[in-house]
Structure 1
Amino acid sequence: MPNTVYIIGHKNPDSDSVCAAVAYAYLKNATSNNGTIYEAKKAGQLNEETRYVLERFNIQEPETVMDVGAQLTDIEYRRLEPVDGHISLKKAWELMLERDVATLPVVGKTGKLEGVIVNGDIAYSYMDIYDNSILSRARTQYSNIIGTLNGNLVTGNPHAYFVKGQVVIASSNREDLMDDINVDDLAIVGNITARQAICIEAGCSCLVVCGASHVEPEIIRLAEEHQCVLITTEYDTFTVARLIHQSMPIRQFMQKDDIVSFELDDYVDDVREIMKSVRHRDFPILDENRHYVGMVSRRLLLNMQKKQVILVDHNEKSQAVDGLDQAEVLEIIDHHRLGSLETVSPIYFRNQPVGSTATIVSMMYEEKGVEIPKHIAGVLCSAIISDTLMFRSPTCTPVDEAKARMLADIAGVDVVELATSMFEAGSDFKDKTPDQIFHTDYKIFNSGDINFGVAQVSSISKGQLNSIKDGIKSYMGTLKDSSDLDAVFCMLTDILNQSTELLFVGDDADKIIADAFRLPVSDDSYILEGVVSRKKQLIPPIMESLQE
């Protein structure tokens, strides 16, 4: 299977994080020569602006990946061939020795798991069973008996089942033998013709003749006349008596209830925790339809292959997809401040002080000599427009605007029309709950022991922002109470007027902002004229205030 690398942006994705991932995946696939496949993913639901952009340029929405932790599908699990529940205990034991396993999965004709048999179950059947009628209660197939005893079928149907009676060794004297054997019993007898005839005439349903490879014609005729299954084996009577219980089907002893199994998309950490409380060594893996696919053991978990990821538009661990500690980060392409993310080994890390990650990606196309397709140019241009608020944001550089206009020419779009359409789509709050609006663009930051979240809701209409203000403020209080955050902020940004009303909750949230912007303390909200960038105009003053 080819190696797959995920290219993924931050949680609560915005247009830049999604569009940069899509464009960078295209570039990496165009320049890769080692067979690796690069796939764009997203770490949350799309906002309306981003959805509009993808639909406008006919790009399929990336799959959502909320966790990149190692899963069972990432390990070399054992594709152990399953067995049928009708095979004998002896056959199961031989398969365990041959395959060097202690557990066999038992699967039905539909492919679904019916049970598991472990070597301890076979030991139990051999050591602790003293019931001479269990062979019939287990509905043992005559073919199992023949195989277990290395025998030969003389008369009868090998596919029939021994379903009544007991297992009896015909060792009594001839006078008492008729009384010892009941109708439907399975009789084990030596190579003595007279005793064989007595057993058949007594009504046994199966006769096992020991120490013989053939019997007299008269015995064969008598067995056929009484519809008795006649089996010969060269094993002596003691060996036959010792082995015959091993002919029972494994379904009689396999574990059918409370089977501990896993699915391919289960995470390795969760699997380890469950394995700690169970004594078994091997566990079945099932697919989403509960069909058996393989076996996993504690030892195999050591050989897991970590998911490989490239992060775009962020380098803060708090903003990254869950399970990143269990993944291998190959690259980071970003335009934000250096965050808290650490890697085990050196990686390619490109961080430039521009207004959009899409700007950096478009530069890389030029550096690699790869022509930018029309649809890729469209999403890159849209991402730059979104992150720079159509070049109004203080984070915007001349490079951003130049790249955006170049990309607009390639895509055949008008920058002003595209920006207006995007912002209108993103400002449509109809049919959305306050928490959905809040999480459209929400990030978590930390400074020392202080953790705080900042959302940004942008609109080209001040009236639209006012209409959602109360609902957003109420939700922020709920979020603060249900999390370990010290403060929660929300920027209600008016794009056209280039100003932000900053909402806040938290014991010292008001003082943090008052100190950061040298404003009088407010108990409601702060109007920040000219502030439209969370990255460049809001977060740095807050960080300085907290550090002081």
Structure 2
Amino acid sequence: MITNAKKVIVIGHKNPDTDSICSAISYAALKRKLTGNDYVAKRAGQINSETQYILERFKITPPEYVADVKTQVRDIEIRETEGVDDTLSLKKAWSLMRKNNVATLPITEKGKLKGIITTGDITTSYMEVYDNRILAEAKTPYINILETLEGTLLVGDEHTIFEQGKVLIAAANPDLMEDYIEENDLVILGNRYESQLCAIEMKAGCIVVCEGAKVSMTIMKLAKERGCTIISTPHDTYTVARLMNQSMPISQFMIQDNLITFRTDAYVDEIKNVMAKQRNRDFPILDHKGIYRGMISRRNLLNMERKQVIMVDHNEKDQAVDGIEDAEILEIIDHHRLGTIETMKPVFFRNQPLGCTATIVYLMYCENRVEIEPSIAGLLCAAIISDTLMYRSPTCTKFDIEAAEHLAKIAGVDVTEFAGEIFEAGSNLKSKSADEIFYQDYKDFSVGDTTFGVGQINSLNALELSEIKDRLYPYLEKAREEHGVDMIFFMLTNIIRESTELLCVGSMANQVVENAFHVKEVSNGYKLDGVVSRKKQLIPAIVAAMQE
């Protein structure tokens, strides 16, 4: 089930050609209109000059590049636990944890993560801290003490900080109190006037009067003169003593060093290993700017949502964007042979023996009675012209021709003139390097244990193809090693002459070509008259030769 908030990626194959890019854009637009959900076209490789021209011609923004579709932290349900200030009292932090049913609170400042505090840290503060000077060491704000004790400030400023002295209970008579009360101490006492007076005269920093006992005007006046804070609380002495440590700011106990955080763009596979080695239950998430975004736990990984993908113009894993095995494939729209892709559950799969995926997309617009905008019509028409070599390819059907002619009318273009513009833009390769030419349109394939790659360049200019051959042939062996395939075949296709010069590298490559087409090598290439289609003419013949 797709929710409105879930983005679905519509993407073609690696080293995308015009059909791959234009079909992805057009099909994403169709899905948005049909469902109202967020379908977005992406690309898995560099856009070639032909496709770039077409996109600019119809003022279409190129799809964003994605290197892979592996599951990332941003695909997990991040718990948006709000960051707190480090002056927050332990008691309030504990209350927030119980209210929100969390075991960890993030401590932030201006969106940046300063630290975290866990229920374990709070328990430690309560069970293991016996130092009666800890409140001063923690620089506890009086406002925290008032809040924790549910107290009322009778004398003093709630925004000042208790940062000197110890905490003690005045259980003895005034004579003995003089022996252990020191300057700046916080003294917990009752309603005895003499005890209150003694504490103030001994220069206590604060007195906490328990059980809501009345404090005389004389005591309050003296306290104000001596700079002594007076707090009245409804709790008894025992309760106040228990609560006092809970007024300390969480900054005293928060974890700041060696924090384990994850970025929103981190891959789930990577963080799983880190999480497994840690005792932490929760981990803060930061965005690419280092701003705190929320928390995740190991439990969140159980409910993670994989990226949702629609594949267009391919159905083979080797040609798909990296990480496709980790994604949830929703649909496949293609016109190639059935390949090696596997899915976790049934998907909508439309595969038709047509000359172009864009023709299938056009048919789906018609079947759903969705109006085709002129810019989308231009993209689909261009894809059909490109993939069928202006109807010259043997893969071209009457449906492709009818679709292209209808789309041309909607887009307001003349097919013949438009085709000339497209091929001229695509064949402008003089300034490109060998690797740029190679990756214009390259795909990997496999037959049994044999792997091979096939690339293709189309041009109207025989001289340009000759120049490309001189630059490209020395690069092919390097490309073969980089891709780790047994053989590479590269088609230099002359659109006007409807012929191809085939270059090849690999230990068995020449034998395969000669067996497939019964030709001999001339000047590091094979002349294949009438062969212009990689899908319908070259690959079937090569595969048949390999299987003999």
Partner of 1:373: 373
Is the contact made by 1:462 and 1:494 (CA closer than 8 Å) also made in structure 2?
yes
Partner of 1:83: 84
In structure 2, distance between residues paired with 1:463 and 1:129? 86
Point out the more displaced range, 462-471 or 391-400: 462-471
Corresponding position: 1:20 with 2:28: no
Query: What SS does structure 1 have at the residue aligned with 2:83?
Result: coil
Partner of 1:63: 64
Partner of 1:98: 99
Corresponding pairs, count: 545
Tell me the amino acid that sits aligned with residue 114 of structure 1: K
Q: What are the within-5 Å matches in structure 2 for residues 399-410 of structure 1? A: 399-410=399-410
In structure 2, distance between residues paired with 1:103 and 1:456? 57
Partner of 2:421: 421
Query: What SS does structure 2 have at the residue aligned with 1:10?
Result: coil
Corresponding position: 1:156 with 2:156: yes
In structure 2, distance between residues paired with 1:242 and 1:103? 23
Corresponding position: 1:383 with 2:371: no
In structure 1, distance between residues paired with 2:453 and 2:167? 75
Relative to structure 1, the CA distance from residue 235 to residue 180 in structure 2 (aligned partners, 3 Å threshold; closer, same or farther) is same
Tell me the amino acid that sits aligned with residue 47 of structure 1: N
Tell me the amino acid that sits aligned with residue 157 of structure 1: D
In structure 1, distance between residues paired with 2:387 and 2:147? 74
Calculate percent identity across the aligned residue pairs. 53
1:326-349 deviations in whole A, cap 9, x for unaligned? 333222221110111122333322
Give unpaired runs (5+ residues) of structure 1: none
Offset, 1:386: 0.5
1:320-369 deviations in whole A, cap 9, x for unaligned? 22232333322222111011112233332221212111122222233333
In structure 2, distance between residues paired with 1:491 and 1:161? 79
In structure 1, distance between residues paired with 2:119 and 2:252? 14
Offset, 1:135: 1.8
Partner of 2:205: 205
In structure 1, distance between residues paired with 2:527 and 2:131? 87
Is the contact made by 2:173 and 2:195 (CA closer than 8 Å) also made in structure 1?
no
1:472-511 deviations in whole A, cap 9, x for unaligned? 3444333333443223332222322333333333333333
Is the contact made by 2:408 and 2:415 (CA closer than 8 Å) also made in structure 1?
yes
State which of 4, 9, 30 in structure 2 corresponds to 1:6. 9
1:444-464 deviations in whole A, cap 9, x for unaligned? 111122222222222222333
Partner of 2:459: 459
Relative to structure 1, the CA distance from residue 125 to residue 27 in structure 2 (aligned partners, 3 Å threshold; closer, same or farther) is same
1:5-58 deviations in whole A, cap 9, x for unaligned? 33221111111011112222333333x2x5323332222221111111111122
Relative to structure 1, the CA distance from residue 362 to residue 183 in structure 2 (aligned partners, 3 Å threshold; closer, same or farther) is same
Is the contact made by 1:152 and 1:213 (CA closer than 8 Å) also made in structure 2?
no
1:29-88 deviations in whole A, cap 9, x for unaligned? 33x2x5323332222221111111111122222222333333333343322232221111
Relative to structure 1, the CA distance from residue 254 to residue 471 in structure 2 (aligned partners, 3 Å threshold; closer, same or farther) is farther
Query: What SS does structure 2 have at the residue aligned with 1:7?
Result: strand
Give unpaired runs (5+ residues) of structure 2: none
Tell me the amino acid that sits aligned with residue 12 of structure 1: N
Partner of 2:535: 535
Is the contact made by 1:21 and 1:40 (CA closer than 8 Å) also made in structure 2?
yes
Offset, 1:125: 1.8
When normalised by structure 2's length, the TM-score is 0.92
When normalised by structure 1's length, the TM-score is 0.92
Offset, 1:172: 5.8
Offset, 1:175: 4.2
Relative to structure 1, the CA distance from residue 184 to residue 50 in structure 2 (aligned partners, 3 Å threshold; closer, same or farther) is same
Relative to structure 1, the CA distance from residue 234 to residue 367 in structure 2 (aligned partners, 3 Å threshold; closer, same or farther) is closer
Relative to structure 1, the CA distance from residue 125 to residue 11 in structure 2 (aligned partners, 3 Å threshold; closer, same or farther) is same
Is the contact made by 1:200 and 1:223 (CA closer than 8 Å) also made in structure 2?
yes
RMSD, matched Cα: 2.5
Relative to structure 1, the CA distance from residue 102 to residue 423 in structure 2 (aligned partners, 3 Å threshold; closer, same or farther) is same
In structure 1, distance between residues paired with 2:200 and 2:528? 103
Is the contact made by 1:188 and 1:208 (CA closer than 8 Å) also made in structure 2?
yes
Offset, 1:89: 0.9
In structure 1, distance between residues paired with 2:523 and 2:158? 89
